[in-house]
Amino acid sequence: MSDRLTMQAIAQLVPQGARVLDLGCGDGAMLAYLQEHRGCTGYGVELDDTNVLACAERGVNVLQLNLEQGLLGMFADQSFDVVLQIDTLQHLRNAEVMLRETLRVGRMGIVAFPNFAHWPNRLSVLKGRMPVTKRLPYEWYDTPNIRVGTYADFAQLARKNNLRVLDSFGLQLGEVVRVLPNLRAGTAVFKLQR
């Protein structure tokens, strides 16, 4: 998620000067933004070679790890102020485990993902087709997403795992959506604690 307005909206959830772990950090754009604009420090975790190189070129500390193998043994409890999972959960087979790990390793977690319940997606499904949108740009047969979820689904998952939602909203074209975010927003954002 490299859209600057979206990064700004998510960055506002991160305390100034926080120690951050960005799981599935991609090219490191979010962590670089947090370093520059919020005075944060920390690490990204990424598997893809090209993205690891891009992180290094941005000056982002990055660890090349496969998140499917979890974080146990890698980081102690509460090692970070904030753990980010921005566009990561939908790619993981162990999504629920990684959500719990996020809040074991961090005092707070921030999760963002494409909201499958956004109205254009619903309309596409009503027409009998899987959606292809800016937030879900792949065809059903070549998507890296192994699951889709909705804003409402994630709220239920947080409750199931006894996680406290400190804040939640949708994002649409970089704008915060607080009224009917499950319907009106392409991205779901949750700020969580244990």
pLDDT for residue 155:
96
pLDDT for residue 133:
86
Strand 19-23 to strand 175-177: parallel, antiparallel, or no bridges (unpaired)?
unpaired
User: What is the full DSSP assignment across 85-154?
Assistant: EES-GGG-TTHHHHHHHHHHHEEEEEEEEEBTTSHHHHHHHHTTS----SSS-S-TTT-S-S--B-HHHH
Query: Which residue, 170, 192, 193, is CA-closest to 183?
Result: 170
Count Cα atoms within 13 angstroms, Cβ side, for 24. 22
Query: Which residue, 133, 156, 23, is CA-closest to 80?
Result: 23
Q: Is 171 helix (H, G, I), strand (E, B) or coil?
A: strand
Question: What residue spans define the domains of the chain?
Answer: 4-116+148-193
Helix, strand, coil % in the chain, rounded to nearest 5: 35, 25, 40
pLDDT for residue 168:
98
Each of the 194 residues of the chain gets a pLDDT tens digit; together they read: 458 888 999 999 999 999 999 999 999 999 999 999 999 999 999 999 999 999 999 999 999 999 988 887 889 999 999 999 999 989 898 889 899 999 999 999 999 999 999 999 999 999 999 888 888 888 888 888 888 899 999 999 999 999 999 999 999 998 999 999 999 999 999 999 99
Count Cα atoms within 13 angstroms, Cβ side, for 39. 3
pLDDT for residue 21:
98
pLDDT for residue 162:
95
pLDDT for residue 45:
96
pLDDT for residue 5:
87
* The dihedral sign for the CA sequence 108, 13, 46, 67: positive
The domain 4-116+148-193 belongs to what CATH superfamily?
Vaccinia Virus protein VP39 (3.40.50.150)
Contact predicate 54/27, CB 8 Å: yes
Contact predicate 86/31, CB 8 Å: no
pLDDT for residue 183:
97
| Length of the chain (residues) | 194
pLDDT for residue 28:
96
